Structure 1
Amino acid sequence: MFTQKIKPFLYLGAFYLIISLILRIVFFFHPITTASFGVFEILKIILVGALNDILVFVLASAFLALYFLFLSNSKYKKPYGYIILGGLVLIFLYILLIPNNIFKQYGGSISEIALSFIGLKIILFSLMLFLPKNRLKIRNSLYFITLFLYVLLIVFNAVSEYFFYNEFGLRYNFIAVDYLIYTNEVIGNIMESYPVVPLFLVIFAITLGITIFIYKKTKNELLELPNLKQKFILLGAFILLVGISLLGLNLTTKLKSNNVFTEEIQANGLPKFYWAFTHNELDYFQFYPEINQNQAEKNFLSQYAQPVLKRNIVSTQPELKKNVVLISIESLSADFLEHYGNTQKITPFLDSLADKSLMFTDLYATGNRTVRGLEALTLCIPPTAGESIIKRENNKNKFTTGSVFKSKGYDVKFLYGGYSYFDNMQDFYAGNGYDIVDRNNFKPEEITFANVWGVADEDMAKKAIQTMNAESKSGKPFFNHWMTVSNHRPFTYPNGKIDIPGDVKSREGGVKYTDYSLRKFFEMAKKQDWYKNTVFVIISDHCASSAGKTELPMDKYRIPAMIFSEGFIEPQKFTKTMSQIDVMPTLFGLLNFNYQSKFLGQDVFTKEFQPKAYVATYQDLGFIKDNYLTIISPIRKVKQYTLAQHKNNLKPEFNIYFDENQLKDKEQNKKLVDETISAYQSTSYWLKKNQLNR
């Protein structure tokens, strides 16, 4: 009896394990997986992965267990059937007619969802109650639909995990949670990036075929339903399995490895998604190593001429009220540029501009998301654990690059070709005193091409020129921060602009089109009266990919950055290691600004500057200094790597890539470990206490 009643679970479970195994094998051979595995490690990954899958399936089958628990013929007998139906109708009327019902108190669409669910339940229960001769057919149909939905979710999740891994080299994380929130952009991105119709037809065909197979093998289990005693036995057994699964996942999800790909391939994506969904912020003081707070602040602030948080920056030269245009470029890795060894010639304009600029040749992004890059350029602070400050509730009235410009009488704007509500950019920039120009400000005739992320960069360039012309007429200097969008999957752009067609959807095309758009922007800017009095800062927000053998692969954080101003900035290469957070303080130094600073980045041309950089994911926090990479992670873990640089023979001033060799605990440079902890602990503390506000 017991074996017969769990046949649907066994068939679905077996299918889930097979799909998960296929997915792991695909990950092993995926080009993004740049690690090699021994035979025993492969076996271990497969076994641990299978265990994870079994535990997850037990939890995921809870809905199927509830479905079987409520299957019964006796509930349709008089008077029970009519009582139940009457109760369902009363609940429906309560939700429909009572303005302040319990469901509406939760806000959102909870009330509508509850009303739809109860309404559907009334229809199905009525059919089963009043058509007893067709009851088995109706039940079989509902059972088939239930199986279909389960199989569809299994197949769809596998496809989703593949595409997510294909993009990021990871199972689900914070980004996947964001994708659920920003459904319009994400669904649009998928529609424009992949052959959606054939893909969904294949998914549907596989789902239908597997559902028919499982249905035929298990439908006879609905002929004889378990009695109340048998249901309690089955329910007790299932509750026990759920408890074991929760305990098991608590252990297996904590298994760590020196190889990030090992951890990701053996993991199951659903627990990782749940963890990311419930941990969008990580309390530094709960999860990370600490030292005495006073000592941490003393260590961190010792790098500044005035070792205090609020410092007076004083120049010996007169201030220069030049216009400033900060262009942060979407996903532009350093190795896309010829200066860093690329031979594809996909950034001809940026490479030519670099030779006329102050170029920072060894600069690192703080993170692997746009919001991290915007945070670094706007707040000039190291990244903190969890989600970017831009996406947190307490994200307003901060000390920002915009607030410094405003104190000098500048017009301050944020320009974005998409809808700036995405990634909470509108809330953050408006809440910090920026005016916003985004897709909402475009007239239809101003848009020649757009995809889900926004108008083409060329259209945004024209809008930027229009905006700057209007600003210049006011007599005030302006600071405009423009975030590009075209170099992002699906990499679509107007045809006929570059030698790579826009409908090919290649990353190289996206890079080259953005480079083309920047050329057009500068060609237009040169014709304007304000051009010669303007400084341009061009920098990437982050690299195109962040996957690598270690938690924070160095080559996946290195980005190009340059400051250009004709007749003002002398062309040169700054070759010391620096961070994204140092760029704007350096610009303020070039403009001889006097101001009170709370920036944690430094002007790299001051004698106090110490070459270093901060790199991070949402939980791993890294510090680069003196050819060491130190990483702190939950729960209070510390790893350290030595970095072996290699020279670029074509461009000797550009060091290229690194070998990262992990040190044993006793070999670690403890001074740098303390510096790492001091930097991130102090930043987290000051943010928590609102000490980085204006």
Structure 2
Amino acid sequence: MILPNKFVNSLFDRIFVYFVYTLYLVIIYFTFFAEVTFWDEFKSRFNFIAVDYLIYTYEVVKNIQESYPLPILIGGIVLIIGLTIFATKKGYFFYNTFHNKPKTSQKVGVFVFNLLLAIGSLFLLNNDSSSTSENRYNNEISKAGIFSFFSAFRNNHLKYDEHYKSIPIEDAFAVMKSELQDSKTVFDQQFKNPIRRTILASNPSQAEQKPNVIFVLMESMSASFLQEQFNGKSITPNLNDIANNSIYFSNMYANGTRTVRGMEAVTLSIPPTPGNSIVKRVDNQNLYTISNVFKAKGYHNMFFYGGDGYFDNMNAFYGGNGFDIYDRGRGSVLSDKINTNRFNINDNEVTFENAWGIADDDIYRKVIKVADEKYKTKQPFFAFVMSTSNHKPYTYEDGKIDIPSGTGRPGAVKYADYAIGDLIAKAKTKPWFSNTVFVFIADHCASSAGKDAIDVKNHHIPAFIYNLKSHANENVTKEVSQIDIFPTLFSLFNWKYTSQFYGKDIFDPQYKSRSFVGTYIKLGMKKGEDVSILSDQKKINQYKWINKNLIDTKVDPIFERSIISNYQTADYLFSNHLLNEK
């Protein structure tokens, strides 16, 4: 179609055709195997996660090397390509290609037809065409992986008003002010942000508490793991012990299915906005976050991550929002516009490392070392720690636990639990322990995707507030959201502070249970067994969550206004720069 007829069946023609054909086979077969491994991890065709991974080649390539037998996989792909080419030649697949000499008009006609077909597909086809079943797995399997990848690339950010059902913004904020009102909330009209308000102290007659806070965002720690066993033994003995000696939130739900969603939830205390997490978006510095509250109380804020914080834009987000950075720098450089201090975790501080970062007990050892230094300054500190070990390839230092490294999720969970136990044991020997509160909460569940568009049970996570003397043993069974953890903690400290958070103090007598459960596109809200889900194309559905299944039901107009108001205002505030500090 491209070459003049005089070149047909020439050596150049044959080399060119077989080169393009081989390249096509490489793409097809490589994509097939890549999709199999992607499905194994995310239970999905290529989506926005695959697009994100194009940026973070070090972590992704190293993770693949550590998780899969690459020589066998690559050798298999090469063998299959060779067999396909051999069968093609034996079957005279290209006979007409090398012997027919079509007229120029025929070539032009075929070229124009294919060009129009390609262009038309961009406008006429979309991934939503596959969503014909209530079973998410069926919808995902019906998609084309390569098309899904480019579809995700084109739709990396979704504007709420263009894609989701909305109401007048003034009405939405009126709903939110009503939902956020409780016994300690005072709204002030002087603020540009309509939900910015003052939260009064829980007990004004008593002094504020200012303990140190070590906050651990646990990678992929599903609530179900606390009941699981391996070889007859619990895989979370330390977390189970903490649960019996802390405020244990046994009915908490995660905002999303990725780490950056968990970070967004706890740091900004906000429902998940459609598209990318705010952690990964532009213009996400100088926002009003939990760091502002801690800073106003005289705390030194620090963010710890065992990998390079360039991954998922963590350093830019936390460094740009009031945290000093401690990470395993691999040469990435922060923008000069980000005013922070960055400290490297050195080789001599590392005993084990994989694709995602240093082992959990290494990062906790670093936290304790820095805590020792901060204790000497007599300034309270807030340490935000992101763990990494409970992640494929599930590797850790041998001899730590009774499950061999690299053998699967149970071992990674038990190692993560071991490291938490070791953190507590070492901290107990320190003079600052008695005045330090530990908070443990999962970022999201492991393997969060399920057969439903939003699989509610795969948002159920554990959370604990440990070593708070006034609440040494309390199991909170009411439904709570990931975004409630810090507003609740601030209330337990008896703090008066400025808030523009969507999270609430779950111990307030006026607290009404609800949680947010979202994906990249689907935006869900749960109130008991009632679940409402906003979808793009301005759709809304409501369900009953019964026996861990979603059953269709009639949309309740009050619930509809509530879910729309929460998500619409959250997106509006960020898009209009009203989440900023001032």
Structure 1 residue 344: Cα displacement? 5.1
Any idea what SS the aligned residue of 1:573 has? Answer: strand
Residue 237 of structure 1, CA deviation: 3.6
Task: In structure 2, give the amino acid aligned to 1:681.
Answer: Q
Which residue of structure 2 lines up, in the alignment, with residue 612 of structure 1? 514
Instruction: Say whether 1:413 aligns with 2:302.
Output: yes
1:291 aligns with 2:167: yes
For residues 88-487 of structure 1, the aligned pairs below 5 Å read 136-216=10-90, 217-220=92-95, 221-223=97-99, 225-242=101-118, 245-246=121-122, 249-250=125-126, 253=129, 255-303=131-179, 304-305=181-182, 306=186, 309-315=195-201, 316=204, 317-338=206-227, 345-440=234-329, 441-487=344-390
Query: Kindly tell me: are residues 328 and 466 of structure 1, through their superposed partners in 2, closer, same or farther at Cα, counting changes over 3 Å?
Result: same
Assess, with a 3 A threshold, how the Cα gap between structure 1 residues 602 and 566 changes in structure 2: closer, same or farther: closer
Does the 8 Å CA contact 1:630/1:638 hold for their aligned counterparts? yes
More off after superposition, 482-491 vs 461-470: 461-470
CA distance in 2, matches of 1:342, 1:381: 40
| Residues 334 and 340, structure 1, Cα contact 8 Å, conserved in 2 | no
**Larger radius of gyration between Structure 1 and Structure 2:** 1
**Could you tell me which residue of structure 1 aligns to residue 526 of structure 2?**
624
1:336·1:342 contact (CA, 8 Å) conserved in 2? no
Distance in structure 2 (CA, Å) of the matches to 1:563 and 1:532: 14
Matching residue's letter, 1:453: W
Distance 1:74 1:509, change over 3 A: closer
Instruction: Provide the residue aligned with 1:680 in structure 2.
Output: 567
Query: Could you tell me how far 1:171 is from its partner in structure 2?
Result: 1.0
Q: For each residue in 1:224-245, what CA deviation from the matched residue of structure 2 results, as whole angstroms up to 9, or x when unmatched? A: 5444333223323433544664
Read off the aligned partner of 1:621 and give its amino acid letter.
L
- Amino acid in the other structure paired with 2:550: E
CA contact (8 A) 1:371 1:388 kept: yes
Give 1:581 shift. 0.3
- 2:228–2:234: 8 Å Cα contact kept in structure 1? no
Q: 1:403 to 1:340 in 2, by over 3 A?
A: farther
Distance 1:243 1:429, change over 3 A: closer
**Alignment CA distance shift 1:513-1:239 (3 Å):** same
8 Å Cα contact 1:334/1:543 also seen in 2? yes
* CA 1:685–1:327: 2 relative to 1, 3 Å: same
Query: Could you report, residue by residue, the CA deviation over 1:147-192 in whole angstroms, capped at 9, with x for unpaired residues?
Result: 1110111111111111111211111111010111111111111110
Question: For the structure 1 residues 339 and 186, does the alpha-carbon distance in structure 2 shift closer, same or farther, using more than 3 Å as the test?
Answer: closer
What CA distance in whole angstroms lies between the structure 2 residues aligned with 1:397 and 1:692?
A: 9
Q: Secondary structure at the match of 2:93?
A: helix
Structure 2 counterpart of 1:284, which letter?
Y
Q: Does the CA contact (< 8 Å) of 1:365 and 1:559 recur in 2?
A: yes
Task: Report the alpha carbon displacement of residue 211 of structure 1 after superposing the two structures with TM.
Answer: 2.0
- The separation in 2 between residues aligned to 1:687 and 1:340, in whole angstroms, is 43
In the TM superposition, residue 73 of structure 1 has moved relative to its aligned partner by 3.5
Q: Aligned pair in 2 of structure 1 residues 684, 677: CA closer, same or farther (>3 Å)?
A: same
Show the counterpart of 1:661.
551
Q: 2 CA distance for matches of 1:302 and 1:240?
A: 53
Contact 1:376/1:383, CA 8 A, preserved across alignment: yes
The Cα of 1:519 is off from its aligned counterpart by 1.1
Q: Deviations over 1:504-538 (max 9, x none)?
A: 2x111110111111111111111111110000000
Partner of 2:474: 572
Q: Distance in 2 between the 1:448 and 1:225 partners?
A: 66
How far off is 1:419 after superposition?
Answer: 0.4
SS of the residue 1:539 aligns to: strand
For normalisation by structure 2, the TM-score amounts to 0.91
Partners of 2:127 and 2:377 lie apart in 1 by 63
- The range that moved more, 167-176 or 632-641, is 167-176
Assess if the C-alpha contact under 8 Å between 2:127 and 2:143 holds in 1: no
Distance in 2 separating the partners of 1:687 and 1:209: 54
> How far apart are 1:294 and its partner, in Å?
1.2
Structure 1 residues 678 and 503: alpha-carbon distance in aligned structure 2, compared to 1, 3 A threshold: closer
Matching residue's letter, 1:660: L
Q: Which residue does 2:462 correspond to in 1? A: 560
Query: How many angstroms does 1:567 deviate by?
Result: 3.3
Judge conservation of contact 2:479–2:528 (CA < 8 Å) in 1. Answer: no
Q: Name 1:600's counterpart in structure 2.
A: 502
C-alpha distance in structure 2 between counterparts of 1:71 and 1:320, whole Å: 82
User: Is the contact between residue 126 and residue 151 of structure 2 (CA under 8 Å) also seen in structure 1?
Assistant: no
Which residue identity does 2:264 align to in structure 1?
E
Distance 2:218 2:108 in 1: 60
The separation in 1 between residues aligned to 2:231 and 2:488, in whole angstroms, is 28
Structure with more helix by fraction: 1
Flag the structure with more relative contact order, 1 or 2, with Cα contacts below 8 A and sequence separation at least 6.
2
- CA RMSD in angstroms comes to 2.1
Moved over 4 A (4+): 243-248, 339-344
Q: CA 1:208–1:344 in structure 2 vs 1: closer, same or farther (change >3 Å)?
A: farther
Q: Which amino acid letter does the alignment assign opposite residue 22 of structure 2?
A: F
2:539 paired with 1:637: yes
Whether the 8 Å contact between 1:339 and 1:351 is mirrored in structure 2 is: no
Return the alpha-carbon distance in structure 2 between the equivalents of residues 486 and 607 of structure 1: 38
Instruction: Note closer, same or farther for the CA distance 1:346–1:226 as it changes in structure 2 (3 Å cut).
Output: same
More displaced stretch, 441-450 vs 201-210:
441-450
Which of 499, 504, 516 is the matching residue for 2:402?
A: 499
Q: Deviations over 1:311-368 (max 9, x none)?
A: 1112113111100010010000000002999975111101111100000110000000
- 1:529 partnered with 2:529: no
Q: Is the 8 A contact 2:176 2:195 kept in 1?
A: no
1:125 aligns with none
Aligned partners of 1:140 and 1:219 also within 8 Å = no
- How far does residue 397 in structure 1 lie from its aligned partner after superposition? 0.7
Q: CA deviation at 1:286?
A: 0.4
* Separation of aligned partners in 2, 1:252 and 1:369: 22
Whole-Å separation in 2 of the counterparts to 1:175 and 1:251: 15
Q: Is the 8 A contact 1:495 1:503 kept in 2?
A: no
2:566 aligns to what SS in structure 1? helix
TM-score in terms of structure 1 length: 0.77
What code does the residue aligned with 2:93 have?
A: T
In structure 1, runs of 5+ residues without a counterpart are 1-67, 76-134, 646-657
d(CA) in 2 for partners of 1:680 and 1:250?
A: 24
Assess if the C-alpha contact under 8 Å between 2:213 and 2:382 holds in 1: yes
1:69 and 2:8 equivalent?
no
Number of aligned residue pairs: 552
Give, as a single letter, the amino acid of the residue that structure 2 aligns with 1:406. K
1:255–1:606: structure 2 CA closer, same or farther, 3 Å change rule?
closer
